[in-house]
Amino acid sequence: MSASDAIYLHTVFTSAVQFHTGLGDADITLTRSSPAHLQPLIVANRRTTFVLLHAGYPYMREAGYLTAMYENVYLDIGEVFPVVSRRGQEALMQQLLELTPTNKIMWSSELFFIVSSPRNGNLEGYVRSHR
Ligand SMILES: [Zn+2]
């Protein structure tokens, strides 16, 4: 990671709140991990930037809806990709792209995967759009 990458990441992490939504470890309660549960918090904090991690899987449509409806919500899809099958990945992207603005989809902002120039480019675009 270069120094400029670190600066961009610092900017993102100090100006946004990330929530691990959907899939995760065995100790989560899946029925309570839908990003839809965050809607009251998002509505009450319109000046806070929210990043929904894990694409909300398996609640992609709920995550996409929140991302589309609220200017302060972004979606990260990075960590879910190595977990689901190729067909699952395709279905995930199809569901997300039904509604989610493509300029609000991020890749691995929680640093699950570090080295990826598309990710860095996505973060740079995200940071630039919020200055
Ligand atoms: Zn996570």
Q: Cβ atoms within 10 A of the Cβ of 116, count?
A: 13
pLDDT 10s digits, 51-102: 999 999 999 999 999 999 999 999 999 888 888 899 998 999 999 999 999 9
| Helix (DSSP H) and strand (DSSP E) numbers for the chain | 5, 4
Number of domains comprising the chain = 1
pLDDT 10s digits, 105-127: 998 776 654 444 444 444 444 44
Asked if pLDDT for residue 2 goes beyond 50, the answer is yes
Residue 58: both structure tokens together = 């398996």
Tell me how far the alpha carbon of residue 25 lies from the centroid of ligand 1, in angstroms: 9
Per the structure, the complete domain to which residue 95 belongs is given by 3-129
CATH number at residue 95: 3.40.50
Q: Name the phi and psi angles at 117, rounded to 5.
A: -65, -35
Tell me how far the alpha carbon of residue 109 lies from the centroid of ligand 1, in angstroms: 10
pLDDT 10s digits, 17-64: 888 898 887 888 989 999 999 999 999 989 889 999 999 999 999 999
Sequence-separated (6 or more) residues with CB below 8 Å from residue 2: none
